[in-house]
Structure 1
Amino acid sequence: MHSTNYVNTFIQVAEDSPASSATVPPQRATASVAELTFRMIAEAPYRYTSDDVVFTVWADRRAVPEGERAAAREQFFAKGQPCLRSSDLGKRYGWGIHSDAEGRIALVAVGSAEYARLAEGRAPDGTTVALTRAMRTSRRK
């Protein structure tokens, strides 16, 4: 079984992100993956793991019935899935993603004091966090 979860890790915004501050993904007639991901994490910080969010967004967009979700989740993670490093939240919209010791995640706005502390490798509770970045939008030249 594959996983997209990180533990004690901070995903910083991408090096080539155009965002100088965090913005909410725009609402569309059909909600984008970024909008659904943002809403789920922002409404319940440190409640869900990355796997929870990635799967739920996928299942909601495909209208997978609740009764079929356990089997669908098992099938979904039977192969590797893109993690939140590839999300537009860190690539375009200026949101870092902090995973705590239990793998639960929260959004952190670029430019905030909390973002600066996490970018130095320190979690809110003082523990050390591993640092990584959201994936670049463009290839390096």
Structure 2
Amino acid sequence: MKIHTTNYVNTFIEIAEDCPVSRSEVPPQKKEKTLASLQYEIISKHPYQYSSDDVIFECHAVKSGISENEKEKEREQFFSKGQPCLRSSPLAKRYGFGIHHNTEGKVALYAVESDQYQKLSNDSSITKTKAMRSKRK
């Protein structure tokens, strides 16, 4: 079985061209956790601790109610099909966060207004890619 991955290495996902905010916003808390709030919680509390695959699968597991002892089998099944990467994350499309993948493929968030965001955007040793647009041109 082929395993697909959403991981990038030494890459910075910049906010989408049509991102509606000029300052980052923490996704609002709702009774049912949204994908944005789950991703924000995992990445902001554990910078550079998890890969994109870890974050995407953990959000899927929470939303789908997958138990701890089912996770290993489910993860293999989940990544047997291609999954949307963090370029499609609402954090980068809607909430104004850049997502940095370090040389080990672990991720952290940077607010668009932060000095660190600017530094990563201007670092020629890092691959840059934009988050996906919310609307077609």
- Give the alignment's TM-score, normalised by structure 2: 0.97
1:130 is matched with which residue? 127
**Superposed counterparts of 1:92-107, under 5 Å:** 92-107=94-109
- Give the alignment's TM-score, normalised by structure 1: 0.94
1:120 is matched with which residue? 122
Secondary structure at the counterpart of residue 131 of structure 1: strand
1:46 is matched with which residue? 48
Q: CA deviation digits over 1:47-101, x for unaligned, max 9?
A: 0000000000000111101001000000000010000100110111000000000
Query: % of aligned pairs identical?
Result: 50
Secondary structure at the counterpart of residue 22 of structure 2: coil
What are the ranges of 5 or more consecutive residues in structure 2 without an aligned counterpart? none
What are the ranges of 5 or more consecutive residues in structure 1 without an aligned counterpart? 123-127
Q: Which runs of 4+ in 1 moved over 3 A?
A: none
**Superposed counterparts of 1:69-80, under 5 Å:** 69-80=71-82
2:27 is matched with which residue? 25
Q: How many residues are paired up?
A: 135
Deviation at 1:37, TM superposition (A): 0.4
In structure 2, C-alpha distance between the alignment counterparts of 1:138 and 1:68, rounded to whole Å: 36
The residue type equivalent to 1:83 in the other structure is C
